[in-house]
Each structure stands twice: as C-alpha cells, then as structure tokens.
Amino acid sequence: MRILKYITPLVFILILIVCIGIKAPKRPQTVAPEKVAEAVAVPDTLRLLFAGDVMVHSTQYHAARREGGDSTYNFNPPFTFIKDFISSADLSLANLEVTLGGEPYSGYPLFSSPPEIIDALKETGFDVLFMANNHTADKGRKGIETTIGRIREAGLLHTGTFRDSADRAEHHPLIVEKKNIKLAFLNYTYGTNGMPVRKPNSVNTTDTAQIREDLEKTRRLHPDYIIACMHWGYEYQEKEHAEQREFARFLAENGTDMIIGSHPHVVQPYEEIINHAGDTIPVIYSLGNFISNQQWRRSDGGILFEAVLVKDREHTYRISSAYEPFWVNRFHDSAHTKYRLIPINGYLNDSTGYDLNEEQRRKMYLFHEDTKKILPNLDLPIIHRW
C-alpha cells in the first residue's frame, strides 16, 4: 500500500492571498520585509477524517482472540491496510458503537467488547470517539463508565456520553484546537434502544431545545468551526429520511458548520445546505459501517469522509470535501475467521498484497458501484492517492 504525499490546495490560496493582500503602489516605494512576509503567509490548514460505526460482534472478538494467539485480544490486524491513511490526517474521528461492560463479552443485541478495541483504534490513528448512540447504554452504568475510563486511559478524546453532569459540562461541547484552528464537536443520538440511562450518567439525545441551548453555549466559546455528529435515521436505508433532512436544516440554521451522520449502517447521500445567513453547511447523512460483521450488500463497507479546513486572518472555511471508500473483507484462514478493511482505491491502484479471490472482488466492486451512485456529488480523494 502506498500513500503519496498529501498536497493541499495551498498554491491557489497563496496566489489569492498575494493578489488580495499586496496592492500595487502609486509610485515606487520600499516595502518592509515583515509586511511582505505577512502578505504571503500561508493560512493554517487542517485535514479531518471521519469514520462510521465501530462495532464488535461476537465473531469479531473471537477472531481478535485468535489473532492474539488465544492469550489476548488483538484488534489491530483488520486495520492493517488503512492505518497509514487514518494516521496521516490531522484529526481522525469515529463513532464507537460498543460498550466495555466486562466479561462475559457479548455481541448484538447488547454489546460488551473486550477493551483492547480501544487500544487498536488508538494504534490505528484515531484521536476522537463519539459515544452517543443507540448501544451506549447496553451494559448500564458499568458499561458507560468503564468505556469512558478506558478511552481516557488510552489518551483519546470523546464526547456524547458522560459520567455525570459535571463531566458533561467539561466534555460537551468537546473543544479541540489544532493548527491554530479551534473546533467544537457536539454529539447526539435519537435514543438508546429503550435501555435506561440511570443517574448520574448522561447521554446526549436529539432534544431540539437542549441542542439549541448547547449551540448557544458553544458559540460563546468562540470556536472557529462547529461540527455536529448525529446518530440518526433508519437502519439499512440508502436514502436519508425526511426527519434527518429536517434535523439537518435545524442544525444548519442554529450555528452548525458541518454535520456528520451515523447509525443506518449503510452509506447515505451527501448534500450542502444553504442556511438563511447564506452559509453553506455540508451534510453527510451516514458514513456506513467502519468495522462490523454485517456482510450483506451495502453494509459490508463504508467511507472515510475527508474535510479540509483553512483559517486565514478573519475566517475559517472548508476548501474541500471528499471520501475514501473501503470494503470489509471477512475470510477464513486455517479455519479461522479474519477481517481486513480493503481501501478500494488502493486496490484499484495496486492489488499486490491484498489476496482477494474472484468472489471477494465481485462483492467489493459491487459495494464500490453502489457507493458511487449514492455519492455522485462528492469527490473521491483527488489530493490523496494510495
């Protein structure tokens, strides 16, 4: 697998800044060196990468046990082919749709994963995990608090689910400042599958009054860019539902700059909403699965959504949006089940080392074609190449 050097559109920005920032004098004069340097200064640029649902079904943790030699759980191998891509971003983020409720471990419908999944996500290059989803209360208070503790021990950031009100006040919105760009992340779920969230624990749900209040608080913190990560919609539906569109409009009109969706377990469309202020708000309704055991059509893969932000002297704005499709290859090696995420563009560029048979290739190509039909208005990465 190869990743060519990341090339941002800074040449264009540089020319633009020079053209705007340096006016031709009426008569010859000397321009101070520090003024020249200021005029041609390159803006701060931040590359964000969002992944969909991280799930750990029972077949996955059994596979991780065998990958670890039956003495530990090793979740790293599935991410072998995409690790470099994820770790190359300035900030990589994913929806964690399992809890760490302890043994006995379990998959669907009440997830309790081995804690090593957190270590693998950290090793793969993720920085932030979103926790507000319909499975976050699967194992009650123990599951919520143990998961939060393990994430923090790993040095990862999180939001959406909290130990108590004080914890929520500290971690929601989640403020991350990188490359001189101050980001605010908010995370909500439509519900918790009827599982109660007992006090003092707190899980963000899609209460519009609460979200409006949260956004008002967020704006007072003066972030450069506000991103809402929503767990919403109907499972396995290729098209976003009217409720998602209405909620996206609500978020766009109340100060959100970007909206990232999860939960349907399939990729859903991308659009750009123009709010009443004239701002363009990008929305990806669902990223699909990141890793799971769901092997049926359209659920056997997902996308990495890439957004590049730039900050100049006055504004922070998005200069590009793109996606990288990948397919989850579940296969048997020496009678054991294994998982590997296959970067589709990487495979198309050079299939060496992936060892896919004809049936696997057929399924991967089918996922790729389905995804292109769903996202005709979103670019495949043109500034990254595997």
Q: What is the DSSP string of 65-82?
A: HHHTTTSS----GGGTTT
Question: What is the Cα–Cα distance from 337 to 216, expressed in whole angstroms?
Answer: 48
Q: What is the DSSP string of 359-383?
A: HHHHHHHHHHHHHHHH-TTSBPPSS
The answer to whether residues 85 and 228 belong to one domain is yes
Predicted confidence (pLDDT) per residue in 274-289, tens digit:
999 999 999 999 999 9
| Alpha-carbon span 29 to 126, nearest angstrom | 51
Residue 18 lies in a domain: yes
218 lies in the same domain as 248: yes
Whether residue 350 sits in one domain with residue 297: yes
The answer as to whether 45 is a domain residue is: no
Domain total in the chain: 2
Report the pLDDT value the prediction gives residue 42, as an integer from 0 to 100: 55
Please report the pLDDT score of residue 335 as a whole number: 76
- Report how far residue 111's alpha carbon sits from residue 78's, in angstroms, rounded to the nearest whole number: 19
Answer whether residue 186 is part of any domain.
yes
Within a domain: 360: yes
Task: Please check whether residue 44 lies inside any domain of the structure.
Answer: no
| 73 domain residue, yes or no | yes
Considering the domain architecture, whether residues 351 and 254 belong to the same structural domain is answered as: yes
Give yes or no: residues 31 and 81 share one domain: no
Pairing of strands 161-162, 157-159: unpaired
278 within some domain: yes
Does 139 lie in the same domain as 76?
yes
Residues lower than pLDDT 70 in the chain = 1-42, 381-386
Domain that holds residue 32: 10-39
- Give whole-number Cα distances, 274 to 165, 167, 281, 375, in Å: 34, 34, 6, 19
Q: pLDDT tens across 57-108, in order?
A: 999 999 999 998 878 999 999 999 999 999 999 999 999 999 999 999 999 9
The percent helix, strand, coil of the chain (3-state, each to 5) is 30, 30, 40
Whether residue 184 is found in the same domain as residue 263: yes
Closest CA to 210 of 187, 185, 236: 187
Q: Are residues 54 and 19 in the same domain?
A: no
Q: Are residues 16 and 132 in the same domain?
A: no
Residue 94, domain CATH: 3.60.21.10
The tokens for 150 are 């393990």
- Note whether 81 and 202 are same-domain residues: yes
* Residue 93 and residue 35 share a domain: no
- 362, part of any domain: yes
Q: In this structure, are 68 and 108 located in the same domain?
A: yes
Q: Are 365 and 322 in contact (CB under 8 A)?
A: no
Decide if 228 contacts 253 (C-beta within 8 A): no
Backbone angles phi, psi at 117, to 5 degrees: -60, -35
